[in-house]
Amino acid sequence: MKQPFSFLLVACICFLSCTGSKKKPDQPPVTVVPIEEVPDIVEVNGTIGDGTSMNMLELIKPDGDTVNILASSQMVMGGLLVGNQIDVVYSLVDETPVAQLAINTTALQHLWSQQAADGHKQSLELGSRGRASTYGMTIDYEHWNLQDGFLLLHSPRKPGEERPLQVDTFQIMLLTEDSLVLMAPNASIASAFYRDN
């Protein structure tokens, strides 16, 4: 009777000592998958060409080159009217230009008005060649441009004034034939205008 018990004890000790010295199985090699680089963002302006369709914007650049850009109607502020000027921010997806935002600058160039808090009318005029004017507002603007899909309004510097040029930045939330809605950074509410010309 002692023999089977001692045999069993020796077998357990051998098993435990063998399993303790066993090498762990080799781990599979780690494959490092590079993260794709963020696609380059390109901003281009030009004229809306007659090859434009519901989902494709044909943009004719000032040098005559044509770029076909995928663009859904939700990405376009101010509509796609052939012959209008447009500013487009796009990225390349599998070498295809895809619009992130497009702003019809022809539709933007109007006199836009609103009622101020005290009830008087105030207006912002965005003219051709980047001219800007204000009427009845507490701030003056003399120049506008688009950059990365944002509207930049530049205040004039008075002669002899050494302060840095003041530039206010606005996101265009809505642009239609008769409405313009702008949102300033850190603003709690947007500023809505109606077309006045």
Which of the four pLDDT bands, split at 50, 70 and 90, describes residue 73?
A: confident
Match 């494959």 to its residue by tokens: 31
Question: Region 168-184: what's the mean pLDDT?
Answer: 96
Q: Please, is 99 exposed, middle or buried when counting C-beta atoms within 10 Å of its C-beta (0-12, 13-18, 19+)?
A: buried
> How many residues make up the chain in this entry?
197
pLDDT at 160 over 80: no
Domain boundaries of the chain, sorted by first residue: 41-106, 109-195
Which of the four pLDDT bands, split at 50, 70 and 90, describes residue 3?
A: low
90 token code pair: 């796009």
- R_g over Cα of the chain: 32
Which of the four pLDDT bands, split at 50, 70 and 90, describes residue 1?
A: very low
* CATH T-level fold of 41-106: OB fold (Dihydrolipoamide Acetyltransferase, E2P) (2.40.50)
Asked whether this chain's domains 41-106 and 109-195 adopt the same fold, the reply is no
Angle subtended at Cα 195 by Cα 194 and Cα 196, rounded to the nearest 5 degrees: 110
Whether domain 109-195 has CATH 3.30.465.10: no
More confidently predicted of 90 and 32: 90
